[in-house]
Amino acid sequence: MSRRDKKPLAKRGPGGERSKAPRGKGAAPKRAASKAAPSNGERPSFGKAGRVSSDRPMSARPPRARAGERPERSEWAERPERAERSERPQRAERAERFDAPQRSERPGSKRPPSARPSGSRPGGKSAPRYGNAPLREPRPPVAYLDEEPAKPEVAPAPLPTAVQNVIVTPDENGMRVDRFLEAHFPGLSFSHIQRIVRKGELRVNGKRADSKDRLEEGQTVRIPPLKLDAPKVVGELSEAANKTLQALKEMTIYEDADVMVLNKPAGLAVQGGSGMTRHVDMMLEVMRDAKGQKPRLVHRLDRETSGCLLIAKTRFAATKLTGAFRERSARKIYWALVAGVPKPKQGRISTYLAKEENEEDTIMRVAKHGDEGASHAVTYYAVVETSAQKLAWVSLKPVTGRTHQLRAHMAHIGHAIVGDPKYFNIENWQLPGGIQKRLHLLARRIVIPHPRGGVIDATAPLPPHMLQSWNLLGLEHDRFDPIENAPEE
């Protein structure tokens, strides 16, 4: 038998007796009865199974007894849970809520509509929510002793949303434009700096500026809205980074809070280039602090030149040290092993140097005053000791700092540095046995004013290949260096 063919529930008469429902085609199916909406004040009733019977009028229900005249409990009163609205099954409640119109107050009731709070029962007891399950208070969160309190998230630094005008401070006097931007915005990428400079969005005192231009105290730098990269999180170093940090410590010959001097080995490049996988500037990345700042290079050395390399650890120190190089208050002394013995044994070399590029390499050539790209270069030299008039230990003091200046100058006077692959072109000259064919040039000493006052004076020892040559030739590396008495200009 299908559900539609089931017999309808019997109607209950005024005396509580069940009356037989008429059989036949006139009987309404149960599903239709459950969806029928009450009319003219009639209230749908629920049977034992929770089905709605709309055939029973409100007048067929026994009248409610007044206080003190309650009759004996009837079959309906024995099931108070089913009579309460909150106890009705969820399915019937939905049918009444969405299908039936808003019912009016029952006739004969003296209680106002707001007299009983929603979900309350007579006797002060609250009605259960579903079935007989009581309402529960929400549990407070349990704090465990082994749990650490949540750390508040630090909001990232706000990006500039409009044009900024920044005044150059005294500490930033002489700083390059690109370094100035890197100092103010550590997350700013190099490509972004070049783009805003190329488009003319960055201005200095209202004029276009190049990334290599030097700033002066009091100037106004117009900075456009920038797109900053997320700053790198400083955490534990990897195994490779720890090895790099250890290598830097082994190279350090002087260090304080502002400055460090490295003894750069021969063969290690200072900056990256084509095919460069390891260089000093990259190694300094492991020393980057929480603010995104890392130590800065102050000057350069050729890849095959070993010796003193000055590093600024702070922006303040970098400004002061670059200013000292620009004002030529820094004194650098180099040692070299050259072919032959220069005459006179002490002298001054002054020429113009210009860059000459070809398909294979780039060298510096001696040029004339007025030539395109020619720059004046001055070097003082002094012979410290000789070896059989074939080799000479020479001390060099450059006044200017041109590219390959010492190597080009010594080749210009006919005494090229031993092992120089670019400038040593002496015909019919053979390297003495036991001497390595490597560049014999050492940045021996650097003397420069300290940014906080005083003087930095650092000295680098001979590299292994030069020490081998010194021992083979019987040169005493602790002899007096006559270049000490050379002029500063």
Residues with catalytic roles: 302
- 441: how many CB neighbours lie within 10 A of its CB? 29
Closest-CA residue to 332 (of 359, 361, 309): 309
The two tokens of residue 161 are 């949303």
Closest-CA residue to 298 (of 271, 322, 280, 328): 322
- Strand-pairing partners, residue 362, are 357
Backbone dihedral angles phi then psi of residue 384, each to the nearest 5 degrees: -90, -45
Under 8 Å between Cβ of 366 and 374:
no
Under 8 Å between Cβ of 34 and 52:
yes
Under 8 Å between Cβ of 322 and 308:
no
What distance lies between CA 208 and its chain's CA centroid?
30
What distance lies between CA 363 and its chain's CA centroid?
40
Torsion of CA 407, 411, 416, 420, to 10 degrees: 50
User: Residue 143, SS3?
Assistant: coil
Q: What residues contact 151, with CB distance under 8 A and at least 6 apart?
A: none
388/395 Cα distance (integer angstroms): 18
The two tokens of residue 343 are 């005459």
The two tokens of residue 243 are 């090895």
- Site of tokens 């012979």: 383
| Complete DSSP assignment for 322-374 | HHHHHTT--EEEEEEEEES--SSSEEEEEEEEEEEE-SS-EEEEEE-TT-TT-
Q: What residues contact 122, with CB distance under 8 A and at least 6 apart?
A: none
Under 8 Å between Cβ of 439 and 417:
yes
Given strand 207-208, what is the order of strands in its sheet?
164-167, 220-223, 203-204, 207-208
Closest-CA residue to 252 (of 308, 314, 295, 300): 308
Under 8 Å between Cβ of 376 and 410:
no
Q: Provide the residue count of the chain.
A: 489
461/3 Cα distance (integer angstroms): 104
